[in-house]
Structure 1
Amino acid sequence: MNPKRPRDLRELCYPFIYETKWQCDYEIATDELCSQVGVVMAQLPTGFDEVQADLDRLQRLIYNLNGSVRGRLGIFEDDLTWLKGRYDHYNAATHGRVTGFVLPRGPMPVPTLHLCRCGAKKVVRLLVRLEENGVSWDPILGRFANLLANFFFVLTVYVKAGMGVDEVEYVSINY
């Protein structure tokens, strides 16, 4: 018996878990991101119904992003247009609130949203690694994942504003 392919499927968490290709890492990262969005949804205080609805839709899109490298493309221009519209909506609602770097902190679910932002960046980096290793993917995936990271940031600003929490500026000594 191959120890990487147990006979008892209860001992196998994911069919591709023993692959050495980057596709599996990408799929795990998008799965983690989708799970973190679920945590945000559980942590959202009352009164953020619009955000809740957007995150509900976003979870499905993240799973579509997940399968779009190994399987059929599941992210389309309409999805990108929708996410850009939601980004613009929350950005306009918080215009002028952030003018530079801010520290990633605040009450729940803000830190979790920041983890989602970081997770989306990891997805972008894994797409880069996939391409570097000869795996082709539709350019819309990179566009969507980059936009996703930016969306999560603007959502942190929106949620903090809605909770009456100020941003804490960070002034870098490096740049």
Structure 2
Amino acid sequence: MKKDARYSCYPFMREKASTVDFEIRTDSLTTHLGVALAAVKKEDVQVVAEDLLLMLPMAYHVNGSVRGKLAVTEEDLSWLSERYDFYVRHVKEEIQSFVLPQGTEAAAALHLCRSEAKKSYRTLHKVSEEREVPAILFDYLGLLANVCFVMAVFMNQQAGIAEIPFISKSYPMKKKKENNNEKSI
């Protein structure tokens, strides 16, 4: 008797290899990017919405690039790097210290995307212990996490919401000299 497809949410679920874990994690990343896009559209910040529309399919391209053909190019990485530079130019003052993941709904959603990108990177590392993984995928996921972070800060900036610095009780913070006055970062 043929198994009814309605009971299978993903054909590789019972694999032992970490590849399926990576694919599920990057599916979650893509879904979170979609949620972030919906929130950004509600807050009407067009530049971020346009960038997320391009990042959404790229997350699925990352997803399929381990089991299938590599679908992430140097041009894709270069574009994402340019977007990082764009947002950093706007938020460089706000990102001088570690900040709490808070603010507008869109900023919070983008912080979730940042976290999902990091989880995807970590899962990709597990895959790399089992099989060869193209280095560009690590670069893309690491950069994607950072782009989501600066986008989140940008969304707060657009809404006039201040970032809240996080001061760790666990790790000493380096001090930065500024105009002969010491400033904690």
Report TM bin, short chain: over 0.9
Give the corresponding residue for 1:27.
23
Whole-Å Cα distance in 2 between the matches of residues 13 and 170 of structure 1? 40
- Corresponding residue for residue 59 of structure 1: 56
Q: 1:47-91 CA distances to partner (integer Å, 9 max, x unpaired)?
A: 311111100100111110000000000001000000000000011
The runs of at least 4 aligned residues of structure 1 exceeding 2 Å deviation read none
Q: Percent identity?
A: 39
Structure 1, unaligned runs of 5 or more: none
Give the 3 Å change call, closer, same or farther, for CA 111–89 of structure 1 in structure 2.
Answer: same
Relative to the length of structure 1, the TM-score reads 0.94
Return the structure number with greater strand share: 2
Displacement after TM superposition at 1:46 (Å):
4.1
Asked if 1:166 corresponds to 2:162, the answer is yes
Q: CA deviation at 1:20?
A: 1.6
| Greater mean deviation of Cα atoms: 105-114 or 151-160 | 105-114
With normalisation by structure 2, the TM-score equals 0.89
Unaligned runs of 5+ in 2: 172-185
CA RMSD of aligned residues (A): 1.2
How many equivalent residue pairs? 170
Q: Does 152-161 or 91-100 show the bigger shift?
A: 91-100
Give the Cα separation in 1 of the matches to 2:98 and 2:127: 30
Q: SS at the partner of 2:143?
A: helix
CA contact (8 A) 2:100 2:165 kept: yes
Q: Which amino acid aligns with 2:169?
A: I
